[in-house]
């Protein structure tokens, strides 16, 4: 696809209206976070809070004149018709499901930014040749049903609907049942027809843009992701009477894995590997009983697929070695999610960079440390992302997550201009820049 060459208009959105929408959505699933003293957001996929957020967003889509459809994976699409209804649409969007200790921006900026672009096009009476669609993908975080970018992976065909529906949360509740319970078991086909292009606006969730002193990131791609669940089976025993050499201590084995992962990262043998044990539990979890069982999740990230594969190998052989360390200890490993590094489309990246230049916004190019729906939709069409700078070293998955109103508006301005150019404004439509409100 060639990047749009027209020096088409630049589009400025209404930053205050965008901010109001962000703050209103953030109140759904809000909680007072004791650790930080801040207002956090807990809106796990397909919980009542997520369902309420979905209904609020669908209301805003309809107010903006979008035709809304929900597919069998619960993905929501709002469609703005173009002059050429047969033209493949330009797609934008992201997710509104959150982790349990979220802020107001992760995913939401991309969905509400897309709706704000539509509102601005409506305000200006701009018609585009191509339709424009705004997507809300289901279970992007993967924190409830254990597989991230799930809705977009089903839309792109990497994961089947049946497999996704059968995934269960820690209480054994199946995703398919939750779609039905919340009323988001839509009827539209879950496989997305390839759009013309996809551009997603998202907070960076890291320190790069702030350290570079810029608001905008042109995202070159996403690093590889590997999620595994490791269960260590030991033997419950009395904490006082059981000699050390007779123990099969699952807790000890789990601790050994945590420290081994950090040693792998610090060894430098696996490039820019990042390793996280986000969940760890021992059972029965009582003071005077040697742990019979331990479960932990391992999240590995690496921009280099070969180094990632070697790291996974190293981890697996370490787990196998632990089995020989204590009599009777065994381990089981379950893959939860695995995606290779994904490069984004050069032409779409250029379109984003050109839009930032035309807005007079400095920008840097960078690889995404986080996973995003864009990495799945990239399998269907030319795709790239606009990153928005965060404060406090871009902390995220923490209620301290914060991007200021200016940075959010700048990011969505760049998104709006990029989308407009890709969707091709129909001559005669008002195309002046909208003065920021």
Residues that bind ligand HGY (CB under 6 A): 140-142, 148, 370-371
Q: What are 245's two structure tokens?
A: 């050499």
Asked if 303 touches Mn ion (CB under 5 A), the answer is no
Nearer to ligand HGY, 272 or 347 (CB): 272
Nearer to Mn ion, 312 or 401 (CB): 401
Site stretch for Mn ion (CB under 5 A), options 6-14, 103-111, 219-227, 347-355: 103-111
| H-run or E-run covering 412 | helix 405-423
- Separation CA 359–CA 417 (nearest Å): 9
**C-alpha distances out from residue 248 to 48, 230, 273, 282, 362, Å:** 41, 16, 31, 13, 57
Asked if 107 touches Mn ion (CB under 5 A), the answer is yes
* Inter-helix orientation angle 48-63/15-26, to 10°: 150
**C-alpha distances out from residue 356 to 11, 170, 364, 388, 411, Å:** 11, 43, 10, 12, 9
Residue 371 interface partner, choices ligand HGY, Mn ion, none, CB cut-off 5-8 Å depending on type: ligand HGY
User: Cβ–Cβ contacts within 10 Å for residue 45, how many?
Assistant: 28
- Separation CA 435–CA 164 (nearest Å): 44
Residue 146 interface partner, choices ligand HGY, Mn ion, none, CB cut-off 5-8 Å depending on type: none
Taking the complex as a whole, the smallest distance from the CB of residue 333 to ligand HGY amounts, in Å, to 20
Taking the complex as a whole, the smallest distance from the CB of residue 338 to ligand HGY amounts, in Å, to 13
Q: What are 416's two structure tokens?
A: 């709006």
- Separation CA 425–CA 417 (nearest Å): 10
Taking the complex as a whole, the smallest distance from the CB of residue 217 to ligand HGY amounts, in Å, to 15
CB 305 within 8 A of CB 225: no
Taking the complex as a whole, the smallest distance from the CB of residue 141 to ligand HGY amounts, in Å, to 5
For the chain, give the number of residues: 437
User: Cβ–Cβ contacts within 10 Å for residue 241, how many?
Assistant: 8
- Return left, alpha or beta for 294; rule: phi > 0 is left, psi -120 to 50 is alpha, else beta: beta
Asked if 204 touches Mn ion (CB under 5 A), the answer is no
Asked if 106 touches Mn ion (CB under 5 A), the answer is yes
Nearer to ligand HGY, 182 or 375 (CB): 375
Nearer to ligand HGY, 54 or 293 (CB): 54
| DSSP code, position 435 | P
Residue 116 interface partner, choices Mn ion, ligand HGY, none, CB cut-off 5-8 Å depending on type: none
Site stretch for Mn ion (CB under 5 A), options 104-112, 114-122, 161-169, 294-302: 104-112
Nearer to Mn ion, 326 or 403 (CB): 403
Instruction: Check whether the bond before 284 is cis (ω within 30° of 0).
Output: yes
Residue 107 interface partner, choices Mn ion, ligand HGY, none, CB cut-off 5-8 Å depending on type: Mn ion
Taking the complex as a whole, the smallest distance from the CB of residue 269 to ligand HGY amounts, in Å, to 23
3-state secondary structure of 161: helix
Nearer to Mn ion, 106 or 376 (CB): 106
User: Cβ–Cβ contacts within 10 Å for residue 62, how many?
Assistant: 12
Asked if 234 touches Mn ion (CB under 5 A), the answer is no
Alpha carbon 160 to its chain's center: 19
Nearer to Mn ion, 19 or 137 (CB): 137
Nearer to ligand HGY, 144 or 293 (CB): 144
Site stretch for Mn ion (CB under 5 A), options 105-113, 288-296, 316-324, 379-387: 105-113
Nearer to Mn ion, 109 or 290 (CB): 109
Place of tokens 């996809």: 198
Residue 148 interface partner, choices Mn ion, ligand HGY, none, CB cut-off 5-8 Å depending on type: ligand HGY
Taking the complex as a whole, the smallest distance from the CB of residue 50 to ligand HGY amounts, in Å, to 15
The strand pairing partners of 330, in sequence order, are 233
CB 368 within 8 A of CB 385: yes
Taking the complex as a whole, the smallest distance from the CB of residue 364 to ligand HGY amounts, in Å, to 20
Interface contacts to Mn ion, rule CB under 5 A? 106-107
């Amino acid at each position: 696809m060639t990047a749009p060459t027209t020096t088409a208009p630049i589009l400025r959105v209404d930053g205050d209206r965008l901010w109001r929408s962000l703050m209103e959505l953030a109140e759904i699933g809000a909680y007072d976070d004791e650790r930080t003293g801040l207002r956090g957001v807990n809106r796990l996929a397909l919980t009542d809070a997520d369902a309420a957020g979905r209904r609020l967003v669908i209301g805003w889509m309809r107010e903006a004149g979008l035709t809304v459809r929900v597919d069998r994976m619960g993905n929501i699409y709002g469609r703005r018709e173009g002059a050429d209804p047969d033209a493949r649409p330009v797609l934008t969007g992201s997710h509104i499901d959150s982790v349990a200790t979220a802020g107001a921006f992760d995913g939401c900026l991309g969905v509400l930014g897309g709706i704000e672009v539509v509102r601005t096009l409506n305000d200006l009476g701009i018609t585009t040749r191509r339709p424009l669609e705004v997507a809300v993908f289901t279970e992007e975080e993967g924190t409830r049903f254990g597989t991230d970018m799930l809705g977009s992976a089903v839309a792109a065909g990497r994961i089947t609907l049946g497999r996704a529906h059968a995934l269960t949360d820690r209480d054994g509740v199946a995703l398919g049942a939750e779609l039905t319970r919340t009323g988001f078991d839509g009827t539209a086909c879950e496989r997305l027809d390839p759009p013309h292009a996809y551009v997603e606006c998202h907070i960076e969730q890291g320190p790069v843009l702030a350290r570079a002193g810029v608001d905008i990131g042109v995202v070159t791609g996403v690093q590889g992701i590997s999620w595994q669940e490791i269960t260590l089976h030991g033997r419950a025993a009395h904490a006082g009477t059981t000699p050390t050499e007779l123990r099969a201590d699952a807790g000890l084995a789990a601790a050994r894995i945590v420290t081994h992962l950090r040693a792998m990262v610090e060894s430098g043998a696996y490039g820019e590997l990042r390793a996280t044990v986000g969940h760890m539990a021992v059972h029965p979890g009582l003071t005077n009983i040697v742990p019979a069982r331990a479960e932990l999740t391992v999240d590995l990230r690496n921009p280099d697929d070969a180094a990632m594969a070697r790291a996974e190998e190293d981890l697996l052989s370490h787990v196998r070695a632990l089995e020989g360390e204590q009599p009777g200890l065994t381990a089981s490993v379950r893959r939860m999610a695995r995606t290779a590094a994904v490069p984004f489309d050069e032409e779409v990246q250029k379109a984003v960079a050109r839009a930032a230049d035309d807005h007079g916004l400095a920008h840097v190019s960078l690889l995404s440390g986080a996973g995003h729906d864009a990495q799945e939709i990239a399998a269907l069409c030319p795709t790239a992302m606009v990153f928005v700078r965060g404060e406090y070293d871009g902390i995220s998955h923490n209620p301290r997550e914060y991007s200021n109103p200016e940075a959010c508006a700048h990011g969505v301005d760049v998104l709006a201009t990029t989308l407009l150019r890709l969707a091709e404004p129909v001559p005669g439509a008002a195309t002046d820049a909208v003065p920021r409100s």
